[in-house]
């Protein structure tokens, strides 16, 4: 079908904002032929199309498009919801407010083995709840299947919460799932959470730091991918180093690390005002970060040195909170990526 027909079918799939959006797109790109199809969801079969096509759902219809067609992925982001990665914490009382709010609004929850199952009572009664946890080698569902569930529910426009046990970013196989969503340009948000690391130390008095005694700690696992165990070196150079209270002595800190064997081309970053509205991240390397930071006003931040310092989450926006200018930008991006009519007919 041509794009004009598709766009004409979309206004009823969103609110009045979508009517303006779809009208603008139809006017801007008119009748170029594209690899798109709009099919009633009841007749849509994705089992034979997954290898070649991607899709998203909207109000009873499934919109198929050829994989890699970035203009269609831009369009999809106006209709899908962000997948929320949240942490359950060891007890409901330790859960963050934003985690509870995400659960309250969820259509689907994929959860790990939890310390306190009562947190699932925060879900709506009609929510789909799927146990996908694994412990000591016992898997309820294999990781590739979890990734596929995230994709399928996200493309259906569902509000999906992926509920981890503890902080999602600590030994939670988080990147395998976010990488899957990123590969399909599906939006997500990762929430920080209370880790068992803090509960087992701060809450018990077995403190990770103590003035005059120990000014740091090492956190790692003896397990490797696949579950096997190996000997490990707590001073290994392949682990990130995180320094508190170093944002005002960045150059000295990086020079010290370099003298102790950390290469000058190692990625480094400072996260300023983490978790606050004014949060910002400045990236560089052991050799360059100090020069960058010294050109900026002094601020409080956390210094991260090692692999991962040069990657961070994209700043996805909720489709429900998009403003008219966001739609205009999406339209402009779609227009730029459309093939010419001559190319389509060739």
What is the pLDDT confidence band of residue 189, given thresholds at 50, 70 and 90?
A: very high
> Residues 201, 233: one domain?
yes
Residue 211 has which token pair?
């003035």
Q: One of 24, 35, 67, 134 is an active-site residue; which one?
A: 134
Residue 316 lies in a domain: no
Average pLDDT over residues 289-306: 94
183 and 224 together in one domain: no
On whether the CB atoms of residues 318 and 81 are closer than 8 A, the answer is yes
d(CA 132, CA 119): 16
Condensed to tens digits (0 to 9), the pLDDT of residues 208-218 reads: 999 999 888 88
The answer to whether residues 92 and 189 belong to one domain is: yes
Per-residue pLDDT band at 56 (split at 50, 70, 90): confident
DSSP at 208: S
263 occurs within a structural domain: yes
Determine whether 117 is an active site residue. Answer: no
For the question of residue 112 being annotated catalytic, the response is yes
Mean pLDDT over each residue of the chain, to the nearest integer: 80
Taking the CA of residue 250 as centre, how many other CA atoms within 13 Å lie in the half-sphere pointing to its CB? Answer: 30
Q: Which two tokens stand for residue 172?
A: 């939670």
Domain boundary (194, 221, 251) is at 194
- Structural domains counted in the chain: 3
Q: In this structure, are 88 and 111 located in the same domain?
A: yes
Q: Is the pTM of this model over 0.75?
A: yes
State whether 96 and 36 are in the same domain: no
In a domain? residue 327: no
Quote the CA–CA distance of 176 and 178 in Å, as a whole number. 6
115 in a domain, yes or no?
A: yes
* Shared-domain flag, residues 212 and 278: yes
Say yes or no: 67 and 91 in one domain: no
245 lies in the same domain as 163: no
Q: Is residue 335 part of a domain?
A: no
CA dist 88 and 96 (Å) reads 8
Catalytic residue among 54, 57, 112, 167: 112
Residue 178 lies in a domain: yes
List 58's β-bridge partners, or say none.
61
Domain span at 221: 197-305
Angle at the Cα of 115 from the Cα atoms of 112 and 117, rounded to 5 degrees = 75
210 and 296, same domain (yes or no) = yes
Q: Do residues 90 and 63 both lie within one domain? A: no
Residue 24: predicted pLDDT:
40
Residue-wise pLDDT for 64-123, tens only, equals 777 777 777 877 887 789 999 999 988 888 999 999 999 999 999 999 998 889 999 999
- Three-state secondary structure call for residue 4: helix
162 in Cβ contact with 110 (< 8 Å):
yes
Residue 324 lies in a domain: no
Q: Are residues 71 and 91 in the same domain?
A: no
């Amino acid at each position: 079908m041509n794009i004009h027909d598709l766009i004409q079918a979309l206004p009823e799939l969103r609110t009045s904002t979508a009517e303006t959006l779809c009208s603008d797109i139809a006017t801007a790109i008119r009748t170029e032929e594209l690899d798109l199809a709009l099919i009633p969801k009841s007749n849509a079969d994705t089992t034979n199309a997954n290898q070649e096509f991607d899709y998203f759902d909207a109000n009873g219809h499934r919109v198929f498009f050829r994989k890699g067609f970035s203009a269609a992925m831009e369009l999809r982001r106006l209709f899908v919801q962000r997948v929320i990665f949240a942490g359950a914490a060891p007890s409901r009382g330790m859960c963050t407010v934003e985690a509870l709010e995400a659960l309250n609004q969820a259509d689907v929850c994929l959860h790990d083995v939890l310390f306190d199952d009562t947190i699932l009572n925060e879900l709506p009664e009609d929510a789909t709840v799927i146990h996908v946890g694994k412990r000591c080698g016992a898997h309820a569902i294999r990781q590739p299947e979890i990734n596929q569930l995230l994709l399928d529910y996200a493309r259906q426009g569902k509000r999906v919460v992926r509920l981890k046990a503890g902080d999602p970013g600590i030994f939670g196989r988080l990147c395998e799932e976010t990488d899957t969503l990123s590969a399909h340009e599906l939006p997500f948000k990762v929430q920080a959470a209370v880790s068992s690391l803090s509960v087992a130390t701060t809450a018990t008095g077995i403190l990770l730091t103590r003035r005059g005694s120990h000014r740091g700690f090492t956190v790692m696992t003896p397990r490797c991918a696949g579950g096997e165990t190996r000997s490990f070196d707590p001073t290994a150079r392949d682990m990130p180093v995180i320094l508190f209270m170093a944002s005002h002595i960045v150059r000295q800190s990086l020079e010290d690390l370099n003298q102790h064997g950390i290469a000058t081309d190692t990625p480094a970053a400072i996260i300023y005002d983490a978790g606050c509205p004014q949060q910002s991240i400045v990236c560089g390397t052991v050799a360059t970060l100090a020069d960058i930071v010294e050109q900026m006003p002094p601020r409080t931040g956390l210094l991260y040195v090692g692999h991962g310092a040069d990657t961070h989450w994209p700043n996805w926006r909720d489709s429900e909170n998009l403003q008219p200018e966001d739609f205009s930008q999406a339209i402009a991006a779609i227009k730029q990526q459309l093939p010419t009519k001559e190319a389509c007919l060739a």
